[in-house]
Amino acid sequence: MEFNLQIKNQAGLHARPAAMFAQKASSFKSNILIFKDGKNGNAKSIISIMGLGVKKGDTLLVKIDGPDAAEAGAALKKLVDDKFGEE
């Protein structure tokens, strides 16, 4: 499955939200990749996520492949929609 996520929290994917995103992604068996501006990263790696330099208003393409892809997609969308609990 593929879908776009627009980052809504004020500071973008700095350390804490990147850690939350990686932790949530790691709780699923599926392979999860994120893409931004021609770069991609493993959604289960905080270093990989932070390397993308995601800021408020940026849109990520998320590609999920695996047995629990639907659940993983829903969980990651909810995390982003809830602004990582920041606001």
Q: Which of 10, 12, 13, 14 is catalytic?
A: 14
Phi, psi at 67, each rounded to 5°: -70, -25
- 14 belongs to the catalytic site: yes
Mean pLDDT of 29-44: 96
Answer whether 0.85 is exceeded by the pTM: yes
Read off the pLDDT of each residue in 9-14 and give the average, rounded to a whole number: 90
> Which fold is adopted by the domain 2-85?
Histidine-containing Protein; Chain: A; (3.30.1340)
Q: What is the pLDDT of residue 61?
A: 97
Q: In this predicted structure, what is the pLDDT of residue 86?
A: 81
Q: DSSP letters of 1-35?
A: -EEEEE--STT-S-HHHHHHHHHHHHTSSSEEEEE
pLDDT at 35: 97
* Each residue's pLDDT tens digit, 41-87: 999 999 999 999 999 999 999 999 999 999 999 999 999 999 998 86
Question: Domain residues of the chain, as ranges?
Answer: 2-85
Pairing status of strand 31-36 against strand 39-42: antiparallel
